[in-house]
Amino acid sequence: MLLANDITGRRREIERAHLEHLRARLAEQQMMHGMREALAAAIYQIQVPLNVINAASGMLRSGAGNVDTLIGMLDQISDSGAKALATLNAALPEGPRESGVRVNVNALLRQVLELETARLLATGIVVDWRPATVLPELNGHKNQLRSMFKHLIDNAILALRECKTPQPELRITTRSLDKGVEVEIQDNGSGIAPEDRYRVFEPFYIGWRNRQGRAGMGLALSQEIVNAHGGSIEIDPDCSGGCLIRLSLNAVLPDD
């Protein structure tokens, strides 16, 4: 009996240490993503006026008379903007490089739910976890997929917080496909307007009422990760009374 208790205690300690390791890895990856988002947003903001300046310079050259001084000034601004863009591009940290390994999607989702337990309980969200009994293992990038699932679940929690649903629910379903895995993440929040179902995947699009601290890159990065795993991601247009995100992942990476 004592031996069994000792083994159980050690197993719990190992699992707790593993969870803390995952939490640290996710925090590090999210910090990296935050840096990339901030720099990418700055690049985007600089690019817009730079395009306008280039267009104005071209118009003056084409028919507005000989305004050499003004054209020279515009060219200088254009050169300065180009150098600023080059500097910011050079400052972008490289994305995390990760080799493909065999991945159990159910295990990754379970780990993310464990990490989110405190937030789910604080918000009063009931989780309906419906994993498939048997799923094919994927050849994928664990940390990328884990980070993506965390972002999608974070989004669902934020949606339920914003709309203050009386009985907030989060349903996560996995099922096997012929050549991969399908995952559905559904909440019973206010949902996404039909005209925004594609826009939410655009870089820098933010639909939250509280925009502070958000760069609008989460779903764009999620789409990038799904694409890298030979899959697809969409918002179900037929879902009413909330939001249903459906994604598929291929059992074999496209570059394998």
The CATH number linked to 172 is 3.30.565.10
Domain finish residue from 71, 97, 123: 97
Number of domains in the chain: 2
Q: Domain range for residue 89?
A: 1-97
Region 122-141: mean pLDDT is 91
Higher per-residue pLDDT: 187 or 35: 187
Q: Are 186 and 130 in contact (CB under 8 A)?
A: no
Residue 18 and residue 92 in one domain: yes
pLDDT at 46 over 80: no
Is residue 74 included in any domain, yes or no?
Answer: yes
Is residue 255 included in any domain, yes or no?
Answer: no
For residues 158 and 122, give the distance between their C-alpha atoms in angstroms, rounded to a whole number. Answer: 12
Is residue 25 included in any domain, yes or no?
Answer: yes
Residue 74 and residue 157 in one domain: no
Q: What pLDDT shows up at residue 202?
A: 81
Query: How far apart are the two ends of the chain, measured CA to CA in Å?
Result: 49
Domain finish residue from 97, 115, 144: 97
Is residue 138 included in any domain, yes or no?
Answer: yes
Residue 136 and residue 211 in one domain: yes
Residue 92 and residue 111 in one domain: no
Of 41-55, 68-82, 90-104, 231-245, which has the strongest mean pLDDT?
A: 231-245
Is residue 256 included in any domain, yes or no?
Answer: no
Residue 50 and residue 130 in one domain: no
Residue 202 CA neighbour count, 13 Å, CB half: 10
Q: What pLDDT shows up at residue 82?
A: 75
Residue 14 and residue 39 in one domain: yes
Is residue 217 included in any domain, yes or no?
Answer: yes
Is residue 153 included in any domain, yes or no?
Answer: yes
Residue 146 and residue 223 in one domain: yes
Residue 164 and residue 241 in one domain: yes
Split at pLDDT 50, 70, 90, the class of 20 is confident
Burial 204-230 (b: 16+ CB within 10 A, else e): eeebeeeeeeebbbbbbbbbbbbebbb
pLDDT at 156 over 70: yes
Return the structure tokens found at 215.
């760069």
Residue 215 and residue 129 in one domain: yes
Higher per-residue pLDDT: 173 or 82: 173
Mean of all residue pLDDT scores within the chain:
79
Sign for the pseudo-dihedral over CA of 37, 39, 42, 46: negative
Residue 61 and residue 122 in one domain: no
Residue 174 and residue 216 in one domain: yes
Domain finish residue from 45, 78, 97: 97
For residues 58 and 208, give the distance between their C-alpha atoms in angstroms, rounded to a whole number. Answer: 39
Q: What pLDDT shows up at residue 171?
A: 96
Residue 80 and residue 137 in one domain: no
